Amino acid sequence: MTLPSTKKLEGTVKSWKFINPHPSLVLTVKGEDGVEHDWDISYGGSAVAHLKRRGYSAETFKVGDKIIAIGKPALQAGTYGLLMEGGGDPTYADGKPLPGVVKQSFNAPAAAPAAPAAKQ
């Protein structure tokens, strides 16, 4: 069986915990068979500080929000997990972006830090 490299989930926010070491987003998603499963949406190694710089907060998701998430599905059969990798962010079910969340590109080179100002 070949698993898809990405999976699109449309579901309802069950919980959002904006805590270290890793924020936790759980979506309730109805499968093709009509059975609902809770999916763990992971931001990988992104701690709160990293997501905060991109505009995420404890208020980003509310229980009951309808959202779409696209990411890499868990490889273990019977596991309901999705890794948000590559800078993708969930959107609302109507396709609107999350307010305040800034897209991050992992392919763009990092900007060089600004040189300190010369003392006069």
Give the phi and the psi of residue 11 in degrees, each rounded to 5: -160, -170
Rounded-to-integer distance, Cα 100 and Cα 107, Å:
21
- Contact call for residues 92 and 29 (beta carbons, < 8 A): no
Average pLDDT over residues 6-23: 93
Rounded-to-integer distance, Cα 78 and Cα 67, Å:
22
> Residue 87: its pLDDT value, please?
52
> Residue 113: its pLDDT value, please?
46
- For the stretch 41-52, pLDDT in tens is 998 777 788 889
Q: Which domains does the chain have, with CATH numbers?
A: 7-92 (2.40.50)
Beta bridge partner(s), residue 41: 25, 82
Q: Is pLDDT larger for residue 86 or for residue 13?
A: 13
- For the stretch 81-117, pLDDT in tens is 999 875 578 999 998 998 888 875 544 444 444 555 5
Round the average pLDDT of the chain to a whole number and report it: 83
- pTM across the whole model: 0.78
